[in-house]
Structure 1
Amino acid sequence: MDWLKRMNLVLEYIEQNLDGDIDYKKMAQVASSSEYHFSRMFASISGIALSEYIRRRRLTLAAFDIQKSDLRILDIALKYGYDSVDSFSRAFKRTHGITPSTARKKGVQLKAYPTISFQLSIKGDTEMDYRIEKLDYDMRIIGKSKSVKTSRAFKTIPNLWNTAKKDGFMQELIDLSWENPKCTLESLLGICGKEAAIMDDEFVYFMGVRYDGEPPNDMETLLIPPSTWAVFPNIVEAWKRLYSEWVPTSGYELANLPCIECYYGPKHNPRHELWVPVLPK
């Protein structure tokens, strides 16, 4: 399958550049993926964050260099992207359990993280409900943004909404939301990635509602152009299966726009949906 080949080409690119600069935008291009989605897609399919995989591979090769060469520790640190011996030593010890200087001794135990490869696995024994929505107008959203660590997103985002409920921000959004809806995307919205820059360790989460009036002074405005969306009920389940199950077989590519988490009011069925921007292949 094309997506499988592209992801393995990304792994080749990483291996070829472990001792140099690794360009996240270049990786997204190799994968024919949008910048918004690449890091999350990699983590979903591989089971490890992209930055963590690169770090492990670099420290694996660094350990080989320490044991097999006479290079100075500083030179090895610089080779694998660390700007000082101290930062390299801390990372090395977290991975291998010993310092780089101790690793020079014969008989010490080190850890080697091999190159991963993507292979086809048979899934899909449980169906995924979805529908395609096309919105032919600019979507103007107002609200506030928060920085979220990717590894803690599933815990942090519910806490953000709980805080918004307690401090009155959620009610403020509800009061500003549309009384006469133009489409089904009328609710509290969580936009995953306000900007198109790849940030593997964290992203900007935007909490808001669709609104065409003048926004309050303490709120930002986000404009999303006319787009086609694949819509899935149950946000958590959809995130788990989107990249590894639905995208590879759907006939769609992910568009270079953020996903939107849509939280509806009481008695609405479903209670929440994930809106994913797509383009036909």
Structure 2
Amino acid sequence: MLDRLNQAMDHIERHLDRPVDAAELARIAVTSEYHFRRLFSALAGVGLSEYVRRRRLTVAAAEVVAGEQTLLDIAVRWGYGSAEAFARAFRAVHGIGPGEARRTGAELRAQPRMSFRLTVEGSSSMRYRIVRKESFQLAGRRARVPLVHEGMNPAIVEFVKGLEPAVRERIEALSDQEPAGIVNVSDGLAGERAEGTELDYWYAVVTGAEVPGDLDVLPVPAGAWAVFETSGAFPAAVQHLWRDVFTQWFPSNPYRLRPGPEISRTRIAADGGHADAELWIPVEPVPA
């Protein structure tokens, strides 16, 4: 898997001056475009489109400083319709405009070329099981929140605090299958996992029961789920498990992400500092 990802990275470098073809990159990596975008973001720490933009403007900066081409010629080569659009993108990455960079030789920012390798740390293993579930519903309350990789998510904390105790009790009473009880659900991520990306957060339960009309409902089709377990400091243990699934488990196992919600069942100790958690990720086998 890592070899194929690195072949995709080579393809990006050879075609930096062309539009990003995520479908072709996924084909090289022998996976779906959906999985490739999500896996890339988890491994790289930046979305695919943003990485390519930074690489283009890193290479373009060398041409700007060399002074052998007009700024308009450089802009057109790297896919910008005008010198003004190129200047805005250049400034967003480098902190200064291309004209200023050419005149003063000011300090620029480079996005290094990325490659992936597997690093083995310690002797711990990831506990997981594959579960096949029939179709079900998520029932509860939903909010649109930004993605936060480390620490508490203030938007989620505020949203959950705003739910009345009676509403929470009504939601929990609908739970009738695994994972049992209140679950936290992430859905609707726009393809990539950059910090601040918006997603649908659900305070919900997994159920097959009839759901009252005043609650939000998300139908979930039948499929396979990879279920992971962890225990440790909260919220770091849960966030690190999420990271490790994408950076370690997926590259090492013959599964890929399929569209669907990602579900965590977290039980926090009374002091709030420790948690036991399960993470349910929708998966499908990688085609042979």
TM-score, length-scaled by structure 1: 0.78
Which amino acid in structure 2 is aligned with residue 216 of structure 1? G
> Counterpart of 2:98 in 1: which secondary structure?
coil
User: Cα offset for 1:163?
Assistant: 1.8
How many residue pairs get aligned? The number is 272
Paired position in structure 2 for 1:236: 239
2:56 pairs with one of 31, 41, 58: 58
Does 1:110 find its partner at 2:108?
A: yes
Distance change >3 Å, CA 75–CA 213, structure 1 → 2? farther
Classify 1:7/1:121 alpha carbon distance in 2 versus 1 (closer, same or farther; 3 Å). same
Structure 2: distance between partners of 1:173 and 1:84: 53
Q: Show CA shifts across 1:183-241 (max 9, x none).
A: x212333332337x524542422303234324434x54322112222212232231121
Please name the residue that 1:276 is paired with: 281
1:77 aligned partner, one-letter code: A
Q: 1:43 to 1:199 in 2, by over 3 A?
A: closer
Equivalent residue runs for 1:1-281 within 5 Å: 3-68=1-66, 70-82=68-80, 84-105=82-103, 107-123=105-121, 125-135=123-133, 137-150=134-147, 152-155=148-151, 158-168=153-163, 172-178=167-173, 181-182=176-177, 184-194=178-188, 198-199=191-192, 201=194, 202-207=197-202, 208-211=204-207, 212-217=209-214, 219-234=215-230, 235-264=238-267, 271-281=276-286
Amino acid at match of 2:191: I
| 5+ long unaligned stretches in structure 2 | 231-237
Are residues 216 and 265 of structure 1, via their aligned partners in 2, closer, same or farther at CA, if it must alter by over 3 Å? farther
**Whole-Å Cα distance in 2 between the matches of residues 180 and 66 of structure 1?**
60
Residues 77 and 28 of structure 1, relative CA distance in 2, 3 Å threshold: same
Q: Structure 1 residues 69, 233: closer, same or farther in 2, change over 3 A?
A: same
The gaps in structure 1 that reach 5 residues or longer are none
**Alpha carbons of structure 1 residues 130 and 174: separation in structure 2 relative to 1, 3 Å:** farther
Distance 1:46 1:166, change over 3 A: closer
Give the CA deviation at 1:155.
Answer: 4.7
Give yes or no for contact 1:173–1:209 (8 Å, CA) kept in 2.
Answer: no
Q: Which amino acid aligns with 1:213?
A: E
Residues 254, 103 of structure 1: CA spacing in aligned structure 2 closer, same or farther, 3 A cutoff? same
CA contact (8 A) 1:36 1:257 kept: no
Work out whether residues 43 and 246 of structure 2, in 8 Å CA contact, stay in contact via their aligned partners in 1: yes
Which one is further off, 11-20 or 107-116? Answer: 107-116
* Contact in 2 for aligned 1:191/1:260 (Cα 8 Å): yes
Identity of aligned residues (%): 31
CA–CA distance in structure 2, aligned partners of residues 35 and 192 of structure 1: 19
1:271 Cα offset (Å): 3.6
1:101 Cα offset (Å):
0.6
CA distance in 1: counterparts of 2:168 and 2:76, whole angstroms: 49
Supply the RMSD in Å over aligned alpha carbons: 3.3
Letter in structure 2 aligned against 1:141: L
| Contact in 1 for aligned 2:46/2:193 (Cα 8 Å) | no
**Does the 8 Å contact 1:147/1:203 carry over to 2?**
yes
Moved over 6 A (4+): none
Provide the C-alpha distance between the structure 1 equivalents of 2:181 and 2:27, rounded to a whole number of angstroms: 34
1:186–1:84 CA distance, 2 compared to 1 (3 A):
farther
TM-score, with normalisation over the residues of structure 2? 0.77
